[in-house]
Structure 1
Amino acid sequence: MEIRGFVAGDSAGLRELYGRAGAGSPVASLWGDPESEAAIYLDPYVELEPESLLVAVVDGKLTGYLAGCLDGAKFPSEEERIGRAIREHRLFLRRKSAAFFGRAMIDTVAARIRWEPTAGDFTDPRWPAHLHIAVAAEARGTGAAAGLMTRWFERLDEHGSPGCHLQTQVENTRAVRFFTRMGFTPLDPAPPIAGMRYRGERVHQLTMVRPAEPS
C-alpha cells in the first residue's frame, strides 16, 4: 500500500472511489446524486487545496482518500457549497433530491420553532483544520485509513497547525471508534442533521477535535 499526495492522473479513479467508498454508512448517499454530492464534499478540495488531498493506493488502484483543509475559515462553507450545487445541478427539479431538501427545510423550520440546535459548520481557532476521509469496503481493516490520517497529521505538524476537527455522525459507530483511536474527542451537542435519515431515523452530527501534538 502507498499513501501519497493526489496528482492530476488520480482524478478519474478518485471520482469512482467517491461513489462507492461510503457504502454501508449513514451517508452512503445523501439524495441519490453522486455528481452533485461530490460537488460539495470532494470537488472543492481538489480545486482549492489539492496539496491537502491524500490517497491510498493498492496495486495501482485508489482505495481511500483524505480531503483536508488547513484553515476552514478560508474555505467556502458547507452552506455555500450546497447552495451552489443546488443551483448548478438543479436539484429542486429532481424528485429524489427535491424530497431530501424539502424535508431538510421542514426539519430546519421545526428546530427553529422549538429553539433546538441544528447541524452546521464548525469554526474554532483552536482546531482550524478539518478533513473528510473515506475508504473503500475492500480496504477497511488494512491500515489505509490510519495511514491517511498519519500522513495528514504530519502535514498539520509541518504547517504548525494548532489542531484539527472533523464532523461525522453519532450513528456511524465504526467511524466514531476509528476517530477516537486516532486521538479525536467528541464535543457536545450532537444536533440532528436536517433532511437526513438512516433506516428511517434521524441522524445526528458529531463534531470531534484533535489538538496538535506537543512539540
Structure 2
Amino acid sequence: MSDPVLIRPIQPSDEGAVGRIAYQTGFFGQSATLYFANEPLFARLWVGPYFRGGGFACLVAESEGEILGYILGSPDPARYGRALRRVLLEKTLPRLAPLRQTWASLPYLLRASRYPSPHADWQQFPAHLHINLLPQARGSGVGKRLLAAHLKLLREAGVAGVQLATTTENRAALELYRRFDFVPLVSAQTPLWTPWLGHPAEHLGLGLRLKKLQLEKGREEGSSSS
C-alpha cells in the first residue's frame, strides 16, 4: 500500500467500522455470510464487548479516513466476561436480530457452544487478542504494526502473557504469530466448521509470555548474588 497507514487507539465511534470488518473477515479471512446471516448481531457479539469495558490496548489501522483493520484484546477473562454480559443485556440487541436471519445463524451459535475453542492457562496468559485486516491491507506490514503496538502496550501494563485462538486454516495469521514468538500451547480437532469447510479443522491456542525476559533476568541476578 502506497498511502501512509496510521495506527491509533480505538475510539467509540469506530465500532461500526470495526464490526463491519469483523463480519467481512469472519470466515478465515472471508465474509462470515456463509455461516452467520445476521451481520449486525455478529458485529455486536464479536466486537461489542471490547467497546463496553472489556477492551484494552485496542487499535485500528486507518488510511485516508478509512479503517482497514484492527486488533482487539482484553487483559483478563473476567473483565471480558462482564463486558459480554453487558452486550447480551442491552435493550438494543433484539432489534439487531431479525427473526429470519437469527434462525439462519442459530446452527453456528449452537455448534460454537458445543465445540468451544481450546484455551491456555488463564493464570499464565490472562490476556487475549483478535486481529483482522481487509484484503487490501494484507501483505503490507499493517498486521505486523498492529500486533507490535498492541504487545508493547500489554508489556508496559505489566500483563504476564497473552493468548489467542485460531485454526490451521489461517496460514498467513499463523506465520505472523510465529514471527512474534507465539507458540502452540493447546490444540484440538474440531467439527465446528465441518458444515462450511467440508472437513474438521484443528483449533490452536497460541500464547506468548510477556514477562519471560524479566523473570529470567531476576533468576540470573539471584543466582549471581548467591
TM-score, normalising length from structure 1? 0.78
Unaligned runs of 5+ in 1: 109-117
Report the Cα distance in structure 1 between the residues aligned to 2:89 and 2:101, rounded to whole angstroms. Answer: 15
C-alpha deviations, 1:92-147, integer Å up to 9, x for none?
98442133345x28x94xxxxxxxxx434635211101011101100001111111
- Identity %, equivalent residues: 23
1:8 has 2:12 as partner: yes
- Secondary structure of 1:124's counterpart equals coil
TM superposition shift of 1:17: 2.6
Alignment-derived partner of residue 99 in structure 1: 107
- Secondary structure of 1:25's counterpart equals coil
1:1-215 to structure 2, matched below 5 A, reads: 1-22=5-26, 25=29, 28-29=32-33, 30-76=35-81, 88=94, 89=97, 94-101=102-109, 104=111, 108=114, 118-120=115-117, 122=119, 123-192=121-190, 194=192, 197-212=195-210, 214-215=213-214
Higher RCO by CA contacts (8 Å cutoff, separation 6 or greater): 1
Report runs of 4+ in structure 1 exceeding 4 Å deviation: 77-85, 90-93
Figure out how many residues of one structure are paired with residues of the other and give that number. Answer: 203
Alignment-derived partner of residue 221 in structure 2: none
TM superposition shift of 1:153: 0.8
Report the Cα distance in structure 2 between the residues aligned to 1:74 and 1:62, rounded to whole angstroms. Answer: 26
Report the Cα distance in structure 2 between the residues aligned to 1:18 and 1:96, rounded to whole angstroms. Answer: 18
Taking only aligned residues, the RMSD between alpha carbons, in angstroms, comes to: 3.2
TM-score, normalising length from structure 2? 0.75
Q: Is the 8 A contact 1:163 1:210 kept in 2?
A: yes
Of 24-33 and 65-74, deviating more is 24-33
